[in-house]
A and B are shown apart, each in its own frame.
Chain A
Amino acid sequence: MTRMKRRVLPGFPLSLGYTLFYLSVLVVIPILACFSKAGSLTAAQFRDAVWTERTRAAYALTFGTSFAAAAVNLALGLLIAWVLVRYRFPGRRLMDALIDLPLALPTAVGGLVYASLYVKKGWLGQYLAPLGIQAAYSRLAIVLVLVFIGLPFVVRTVQPVLEDLDAEAEEAAASLGATRWQSFRRVILPPLYPALLTGFALAFARSLGEYGSVVFVSGNMPYKTEIAPVLIVARLEEYAYGEATAIAVVLLVVSFVMLVVINALERWSRRSEAHA
C-alpha cells in the first residue's frame, strides 16, 4: 500500500492543460454537439420523441439488461480474477489473455456467434429449447451477449488489487479462528470494493451503448426486445436527426447520473476502508 507518490510528468499545469484539451476534443465537444442538435427541437417535440410507451419500454430494457449483465460480471469477474491470481495451473496465461478478447472482437461478430449458438437448432440452443429456455432473440439473449462484452472490465480492475493483497492477512484471520466465509467477507472483500465498483460501472456503461452485437441476438421486437439504440437508428432512417439525438441525450443524462452515483459509492467505500 505504501506506493511512492511521485509525478511522472513534469509540470502539473502542462499535463492538466493537455488533459483538459483532450477531454474536451474527445468527449465534451461531441457531447455538446449532441445536446445542441437535440436543442433544435421544441420542448413538446422533445417530449414526444423521448417519452412514449415504446421509448420507455426501450429505456427499461436497455438499463435493465445492462444492469443485470454488469451484476453477473461482478460475480463472474471476481471469481475469474481470483482464480487467475491465486492459483497456478497449466493454461493460466492463455486464459489470462482470453479475457481481453471481447474487447478486440468486433461486437457484431460476438452477436452473430451468440445468435447462431443459441437458436433452436444451434449447438447450445438445441439443449435449452426442450427446457423451455429461449436463449436467442429474447431478453436473456441480450443479457448473455452483454455479459460477454463487459467481462474484461471487472476482471481487469479487480486483478491488480487482488495481486497486491497480502495472503498473510488471510492466514492471520484463519489462525485467529475465522471461518473461510468470515475471512472472505471480512478480510478479502472490503479492500476489493472500490475496484469491484469501478469494474461494475465500466461494464454497465459499456453495455448501455452497445448496438452492434445486441441487434443480432435480440430480435428487435418492439416493446419486448427493442433496445434504445435501435430506436435511435430508426429515427435516423427517417432523417429525423433531432429526435434521434433527443433519445441519445436521455440515455447520456441517465448514464451520467448513474456513473456519478457509482463513483460516489466507490469513493465512500474507499474512505471507509481507509478508516477501518
Chain B
Amino acid sequence: MKIPLRRALVGGLMALATGAAASDSVELLNVSYDPTRELWRDLNGSFTDQYRKEKGVAVTVKQSHGGSSAQARAVIEGLEADVVTLASTIDTDAIAQRGLITGDWVKRLPNNSLPYTSTIVFVVRKGNPKGIRDWPDLVKPGVEVITPNPKTSGNGYLSFFSAWGSVVLRGGSRQAAIDYVTKLYRQVPVLDSGARGAAITFVQREMGDVHLAWENEARLEVAEARGDLDIVYPPISIRAEPHVALVDANVDRKKTRAVADAYLRYLYTDAAQQIIARHFYRPTNEAVLKAHAATFPALRMFSIKEIALDFPDAHKQFIAEGGVFDKIYRPR
C-alpha cells in the first residue's frame, strides 16, 4: 500500500514540475463576457470532442464570464487566461497594452481575429405601437428608450456609437449628431449598469417603448416573451467586433500555445460557425451566414473606423471622462 502511494506522489510532483504539456490532458481557460455562457459551452464540447479524436489529447476548457472590462482587468491583474474572447476591442487592447498579448494580434487569426460579429437592434412592444423603424423614430415625443449606461456597459456604448453613426453616416453633421444623441438620452429614463439590468427593466418592469439590445440577446428576449415583444432591424447599426486572442504571456508560461491556437482556429471551421449561428451571433464565414439568411436580416453594419480611428479612440472621444456623452447631462 505504501509504495504505490509514494509513487503516485512522486509522479504527481513530476507532472507538476514538467508542466501540463508533458501529460496528455490539457486545461485551457477561456475568459469571456457575460451573455456568451451557452455559446462557449457548446463550442467547447464540440472542440474537445474533435481534438480528442484527431490528436488523442483530452482538453478541458474552463470558462469564466463577467462584465467584459472587469474580465480584462482580471487578466491584467493575473487571471491566467489562455485565450480571451471579450466583447470589445477596447478590452482586448487594454490587455495587449500591458504586454500580455504581443505583436499585431488582430492579424494573427482569420477575419481579423473575428469568428463572429454582432450588432445592436431594437426590441419593441407587441405590434410596435409607437411605429419604431429607424433611429430618428427613437427621439419622437413620448418614446421612452431603454439602453444601459455607456459608461459602464459595452451594450451601452455600442448603442451610443450606433446612434452617432446613424446620423453622421447618413449625411448629418457632427453638430446634428450631438443634438441627436442629446435628445435620445433625454428619453432614456434609467441608465442601468449593464445589459442584463436593462433587459430586466424593459421586459420585467415593462418600462420603455424600445430596448436597444445586442442582436443575440434581442432574439432570445423576443423568443422568451412568446409574442409580447417584436424585433425591429434598423437600416443601419454598428458592427460589434468581439475579437478572440491568445494571451501570449500566459500560454508561453503554461506551455499551452499549441492547444490554445488550435482552439481559436477551430472557431472558423464550418461546425463551429454553425454553432455560432445557432446562438444568434453572426458567423464571419460568408457561406454559413448565407445559409442562415432568414435568421440574420441584412442591414448596413458600419465599421467603427467610419466614425473614429478604432474602438479605443471612439470610447475616448464619445464616452470617457470629458467626452460627448458627458456633455448630454447638465446639473440641475
B331, A220: Cβ atoms closer than 8 Å: no
A-side interface residues, number (CB < 8 Å): 29
* A–B Cβ pairs within 8 angstroms, 27 of them: A53-B331, A57-B331, A112-B200, A115-B201, A116-B205, A119-B206, A121-B206, A122-B205, A137-B189, A137-B190, A215-B192, A216-B197, A219-B189, A220-B193, A222-B191, A222-B326, A223-B329, A223-B330, A230-B152, A233-B193, A234-B149, A234-B151, A235-B321, A237-B69, A238-B319, A238-B321, A239-B94
A237, B151: Cβ atoms closer than 8 Å: yes
Give the docked Cα–Cα distance between A240 and B300 (Å).
33
With A116-B204, A121-B206, A216-B197: A221-B191 Cβ-Cβ less than 8 Å: yes
Closest-by-CB residue of A relative to B91 is A239
Let me know if A206 is at the binding interface, CB within 8 A.
Answer: no
**Min CB–CB distance B225 → chain A (angstroms):** 16
The 8 Å CB contact of A236, one of B69, B197, B201, B332, is B69
Let me know if A224 is at the binding interface, CB within 8 A.
Answer: yes
Residues of B within 8 A of A137 (CB): 189-190
Closest-by-CB residue of B relative to A122 is B205
With A215-B193, A220-B191: A234-B152 Cβ-Cβ less than 8 Å: yes
Let me know if A210 is at the binding interface, CB within 8 A.
Answer: no
Let me know if B130 is at the binding interface, CB within 8 A.
Answer: no
Please report whether the interface of chain B is mostly helix, strand, loop or mixed according to DSSP.
loop
A238, B315: Cβ atoms closer than 8 Å: yes
Residues of B within 8 A of A240 (CB): 320-321
Give the docked Cα–Cα distance between A216 and B329 (Å).
20
B191, A219: Cβ atoms closer than 8 Å: yes
Closest-by-CB residue of B relative to A212 is B193
With A224-B332, A239-B94: A215-B205 Cβ-Cβ less than 8 Å: no
A115, B193: Cβ atoms closer than 8 Å: no
**A188-230 residues at the B interface, CB under 8 angstroms:** 215-216, 219-224, 230
Binary CB contact string for chain A from 61 to 75 against chain B (1 if under 8 A, 0 otherwise): 000000000000000
Give the docked Cα–Cα distance between A54 and B197 (Å).
23
Residues of A within 8 A of B94 (CB): 239
Let me know if B73 is at the binding interface, CB within 8 A.
Answer: yes
Give the docked Cα–Cα distance between A53 and B331 (Å).
7
Select the residue from B151, B201, B206, B326 with max chain A CB neighbours within 10 A.
B151
Let me know if B324 is at the binding interface, CB within 8 A.
Answer: no
**Min CB–CB distance A52 → chain B (angstroms):** 9
Binary CB contact string for chain A from 109 to 124 against chain B (1 if under 8 A, 0 otherwise): 0001001100111100
Closest-by-CB residue of B relative to A233 is B152
Let me know if B308 is at the binding interface, CB within 8 A.
Answer: no
Extra pairs beyond A112-B200, A235-B321 (17, CB < 8 Å): A119-B206, A119-B207, A137-B190, A215-B193, A215-B197, A216-B192, A219-B189, A219-B191, A220-B193, A221-B190, A221-B191, A221-B329, A222-B191, A238-B321, A239-B73, A239-B94, A240-B320
Residues of B within 8 A of A237 (CB): 69, 151-152
Give the docked Cα–Cα distance between A112 and B331 (Å).
27
A115, B205: Cβ atoms closer than 8 Å: yes
Residues of B within 8 A of A236 (CB): 69-70, 73
Residues of B within 8 A of A57 (CB): 331
Select the residue from B69, B321, B329 with max chain A CB neighbours within 10 A.
B321
B205, A121: Cβ atoms closer than 8 Å: yes
B73, A222: Cβ atoms closer than 8 Å: no
B190, A219: Cβ atoms closer than 8 Å: yes
Residues of A within 8 A of B330 (CB): 223
Give the docked Cα–Cα distance between A215 and B319 (Å).
19
